Amino acid sequence: MVHFCTFTPIIKSKMDPKYKEVIEANIALHSTMASDYSTCEPHFRPENIEKVSSNIRTVIEQTKAESMLDLGCGTGFLIHIAKPFLKNITGVD
């Protein structure tokens, strides 16, 4: 399956008549694509998950972190990996 990125025109204000239309189109597009992310994106391969998990564990051990903020969390790739190691995680997409 091939996915194409879409360009979202810059909407300068929520008052712009196109604002709601653009937001709804983005939600529809990404909601449709989200179910494929975990099956076709290369970072979900087991060897990549293990590498990221190892790196996250190392950083948490070195910093004694208890919380994580994941900006641009998407489907929660990092959140799912970090859950066993942290008390609090906040994801914002």
Give the integer Cα–Cα distance in Å for 54 and 26: 33
Instruction: Work out the percent of the chain whose per-residue pLDDT is above 70.
Output: 83
7 pLDDT band (50/70/90 cuts)? very low
- What φ, ψ does residue 43 adopt, rounded to 5°? -70, -10
User: What is the pLDDT, as a whole number, of residue 38?
Assistant: 67
pLDDT for 30 beyond 90: no
pLDDT digits (tens, 9 = 90+) for 73-86: 877 889 999 999 99
Give the integer Cα–Cα distance in Å for 91 and 48: 21
Is 68 strand, coil or helix?
Answer: strand
